[in-house]
Structure 1
Amino acid sequence: MKLLVCILDDFYKEQVEKELREKGYRMTELASSGGFLRKGSTTFLFGANEDDLPGLRDSLKEACLNVEKKKQRKDKRPHRYTSFLMKSGDLSALLGNQ
């Protein structure tokens, strides 16, 4: 099991959440702001098996492209989202379990 932390601009939030839920992905959504990607960001936490990661990443990219096509606006940033992948064993350190 892996944890994919995905930070994206609020411009993409609703469509990404809708499309990924329709495809059966389970996620937790956190409103986030700060210095990393500035305000107006959303953080999604996805729990996924190793085999599901390529499909999840493809679905994220596809959902972002669908937003741009639907709203006829391309985001000016070089990346649509930033993601971090963590092994489930690495999470115990974050949770304070030793």
Structure 2
Amino acid sequence: MKLLIAVVQDQDAGPLMQRLVDQGFGATKLASTGGFLRQGNTTILIGLEDAQVDAAVECIRRTCRHRRQAAAGAGDVEVGAATIFVLRVDRFERI
């Protein structure tokens, strides 16, 4: 079992959640804030079987986009589409 944690831009969160649900993935959406530009982003938690990880990552890859954004004192910078962590889960219970 795996826990996939994806930190995505707020603009991508709604479409990504819809795509994940359409593909049969259960996900939890959490509001979060990034440090670099101090802007809102969304952290999405997805519990998966090992064999589902690649399909979930592909959903994220197809939905989330890089963007150019103005940063004070730095001009335009490219902000990431998503940051993904995949962690091993020793135990999972749904209560």
Mean Cα deviation higher: 53-62 or 31-40 = 31-40
Query: Could you say if the C-alpha distance between residues 48 and 36 of structure 1 is closer, same or farther in structure 2, counting changes exceeding 3 Å?
Result: farther
In the alignment, structure 1 residue 40 sits paired with structure 2 residue 40 = yes
SS in structure 2 at match of 1:89: coil
Q: 1:53 to 1:35 in 2, by over 3 A?
A: same
The two structures have a TM-score, normalised by structure 2, of: 0.76
* CA–CA separation in structure 1 for the residues paired with 2:34 and 2:21: 27
Structure-2 residue corresponding to 1:16? 16
- Which has more helix, going by share of residues? 1
> C-alpha separation between the residues in 1 aligned to 2:2 and 2:42?
20
Identity of aligned residues (%): 29
Unpaired runs of 5+ in structure 1?
A: 66-73, 92-98
Q: How many residues align?
A: 83
Q: Match of 2:52?
A: 52
Pairing 1:75–2:76 present: no
> More strand by proportion, 1 or 2?
2
> Where does structure 2 lack aligned partners over 5 or more consecutive residues?
69-77
CA distance in 2, matches of 1:4, 1:42: 13
Q: Distance in 1 between matches of 2:37 and 2:87?
A: 20
How high is the TM-score relative to the length of structure 1? 0.73
What's the offset of the Cα at 1:37?
6.7
Pick closer, same or farther for the CA change 1:78–1:33 going to 2, 3 Å. closer
